[in-house]
């Protein structure tokens, strides 16, 4: 392995360490923007590790796709924020008093969601060395595609028509099924398509990425001044950090649906496509080349 470790990886370490030090020294800026600060550092660090291992990464060879993913991350997360207005499963506390400062925090935080999941998944896939690729293909058939789409869409409508905090698992289930069926139908990047090619690597990596990122989200959120807190009905007092323990199960499908939502919104975006932010070929949803 002769790949260089990019300088932005060192910058990531400095940002994370600096944010931690400033937070515990009572710095108001670090307390207010701690979550997006540490995640910005994390993205830079993990991307550099990927580049060191593979010789390519989102920030070194797929920079256009990386930066396109930032506004798409914000747009897609607002779907969940909209649902939460009805279900009331989380709220933000200690927000900045200034409206511009508050919206900067929202945009910055939401823009990091897709990147942190994707770079973590790519690192996991790199470390597993293609262990889950070139396996026996599995085809669930066209019935599964339609079933996923209809079931996901109907569950999403149920949330909107009959909102209840007891339906807190539905956002993570309905959108996953809905977009999987829709993407598969449109042939724009679905896991069914990957399974038919015998490629399970990204799916497995995203599942693990969701759990890792979920733990880090909640760990860093616990120490932040501006943070989110949860209101859920299932074992609400059995917590790890701020999150009721059962809630960590939601991070696993969330990572998968983030990729599906990214692929759909990227398909709709008015930019040329070759490979996506994770290096998957747009025509086949399997590993492709770099820009």
Q: Round to whole Å and give the CA distance between 63 and 124.
A: 20
3-state secondary structure of 67: helix
Residue 234: partners with Cβ closer than 8 Å, 6 or more residues away = 168, 244, 246
Residue 3: both structure tokens together? 């790949």
Does residue 104 register a pLDDT over 50? Answer: yes
Q: Round to whole Å and give the CA distance between 90 and 45.
A: 29
Per-residue pLDDT tens digits for 171-180: 999 999 999 9
More confident: 1 or 36:
36
Residue 195: both structure tokens together? 């399974």
Q: Round to whole Å and give the CA distance between 242 and 220.
A: 10
Cβ atoms of residues 7 and 51 within 8 Å = no
Q: Which residues pair with 229 in a beta bridge?
A: 91
Per-residue pLDDT tens digits for 110-134: 999 999 999 999 999 999 877 877 7
Q: Round to whole Å and give the CA distance between 27 and 127.
A: 37
* Alpha-carbon radius of gyration of the chain: 19
Q: In the predicted model, what is the mean pLDDT of the chain?
A: 92
Does residue 291 register a pLDDT over 50? Answer: no
DSSP state at residue 280: B
Does residue 286 register a pLDDT over 80? Answer: no
Q: Where are the alpha helices (DSSP H) in 129-190?
A: 141-161, 170-186
pTM for this prediction: 0.93
């Amino acid at each position: 392995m002769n790949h260089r470790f990019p300088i932005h990886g060192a910058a990531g370490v400095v940002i994370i360490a600096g944010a931690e030090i400033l937070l515990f020294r009572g710095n108001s800026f670090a307390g207010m923007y701690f979550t997006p600060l540490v995640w910005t550092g994390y993205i830079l660090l993990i991307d550099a590790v990927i580049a060191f291992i593979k010789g390519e990464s989102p920030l070194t060879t797929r920079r256009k796709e990386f930066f396109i993913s930032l506004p798409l991350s914000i747009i897609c997360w607002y779907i969940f924020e909209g649902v939460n207005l009805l279900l009331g499963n989380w709220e933000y506390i200690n927000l900045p008093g200034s409206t511009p400062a508050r919206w900067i925090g929202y945009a910055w935080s939401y823009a990091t969601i897709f990147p942190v999941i994707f770079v973590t998944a790519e690192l996991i896939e790199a470390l597993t060395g293609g262990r889950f690729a070139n396996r026996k293909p599995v085809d669930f058939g066209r019935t599964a595609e339609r079933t996923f789409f209809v079931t996901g869409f109907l569950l999403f409508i149920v949330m909107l028509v009959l909102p209840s905090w007891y339906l807190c698992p539905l956002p993570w289930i309905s959108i996953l099924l809905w977009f999987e069926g829709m993407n598969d139908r449109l042939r724009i990047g679905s896991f069914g398509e990957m399974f038919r090619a015998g490629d399970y690597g990204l799916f497995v990596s995203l599942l693990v990425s969701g759990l890792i990122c979920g733990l880090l989200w909640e760990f860093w959120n616990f120490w932040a001044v501006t943070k989110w807190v949860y209101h859920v009905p299932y074992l609400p007092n059995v917590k790890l950090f701020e999150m009721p323990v059962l809630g960590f199960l939601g991070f696993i499908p969330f990572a998968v649906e983030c990729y599906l939502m990214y692929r759909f919104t990227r398909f709709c975006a008015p930019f040329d496509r070759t490979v996506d932010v994770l290096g998957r070929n747009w025509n086949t949803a399997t590993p492709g080349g770099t820009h």
